[in-house]
Structure 1
Amino acid sequence: MTPDHHIVLVAPEIPHNAGAAGRLALATGARLHLVKPLGFSLEDKHVRRTGLDYWHKVDLCVWDSFEELQAAADDGANFWYLSTKTTRAHWDADFRKGDYLVFGCESRGLPESMVKAAGDQGIRIPMVEEGTRSLNLSTAVAITLYEAVRQVRG
């Protein structure tokens, strides 16, 4: 079964965030994609603790590269690149079933070249105070994913 949404974490560094993203994926019926390198082992107790006893139920794919994930994606799927380095708000995106929400690692975000190449597919979560540090990765995933769920499911 094809999930309504895909969460993509590129080179995640903190096990807690991956575990929280896994819980969000399970709660919404999304698929979680982790793109190597991972800054932790999937056997890490923090991943399992955050995912509680649900971790084994998470629809999880681990990829050696982002290009490998893209090549395996369904034709016509949209990739949305979350970054503070763009200006379009996440609520202005036209999310559709099967879209991929792509997030970078906690310390650096997505590579600037990837965000630039994304054009209108680059989106951000607006913050009132400019210069505020980025939101926590799992918080950003939750905000964006639930906006996508709202748009698709009405």
Structure 2
Amino acid sequence: MPQIVLVYPQIPPNTGNVARTCAATNTELHLVKPLGFEISDRYLKRAGLDYWPYVKLYDHDNFKEFQTYHQQRGGRLVGFSAKGASNYTKFQYQTNDWLLFGSE
């Protein structure tokens, strides 16, 4: 199962929406600090609705800590960018991919 990684997320509702999708798909969500909000932010919680208890949430103090964690678990890091050379719909995903999204 792929994992979702948000690096330095800034907008609480965006993170909440991703968390809700992760809960619905049983996908782990990794947040890499610093965050642009507090985990207790009301907008974050509202966007996640009642799904927060079902989110497999991991937080990492910085990108280096995340990299160490990722190396221990293995799998490919697949970065997403508006300036990427490949279209995400044509990419060959693998089961153990880590889908990496940067700050909004």
Equivalent residue of 2:89, what SS? helix
Partner of 1:120: none
> Aligned partners of 1:6, 1:99: CA distance in 2, in Å?
7
Q: Deviations over 1:34-91 (max 9, x none)?
A: 100100001011111111111122100011122222221222x011100022211112
Partner of 1:87: 85
CA contact (8 A) 1:5 1:29 kept: no
> Aligned partners of 2:86, 2:51: CA distance in 1, in Å?
34
Partner of 2:35: 38
Cα deviation, residue 92, structure 1? 2.5
Partner of 2:48: 51
> Aligned partners of 2:10, 2:89: CA distance in 1, in Å?
27
Q: Which runs of 5+ in 1 are unaligned?
A: 107-154
Q: Percent identity?
A: 40
What is the aligned counterpart of 1:71 among 68, 71, 87? 68
Of structures 1 and 2, the larger Rg is shown by 1
Structure (1/2) with the larger helix percentage: 1
Partner of 2:99: 101
> Aligned partners of 1:100, 1:50: CA distance in 2, in Å?
23
User: How many residues in Structure 1 have an aligned counterpart in Structure 2?
Assistant: 102
CA contact (8 A) 1:9 1:33 kept: yes
Letter in 1 for 2:23: L
> Aligned partners of 2:11, 2:66: CA distance in 1, in Å?
21
Q: Which runs of 5+ in 2 are unaligned?
A: none
Q: Which residues in structure 2 correspond to 1:1-154 (within 5 Å)? A: 4-73=1-70, 74-75=73-74, 77-106=75-104
CA contact (8 A) 1:14 1:40 kept: yes
What stretches of structure 1 move > 2 A for 4+ residues in a row?
Answer: none
- Greater Cα shift, 89-98 or 17-26: 89-98
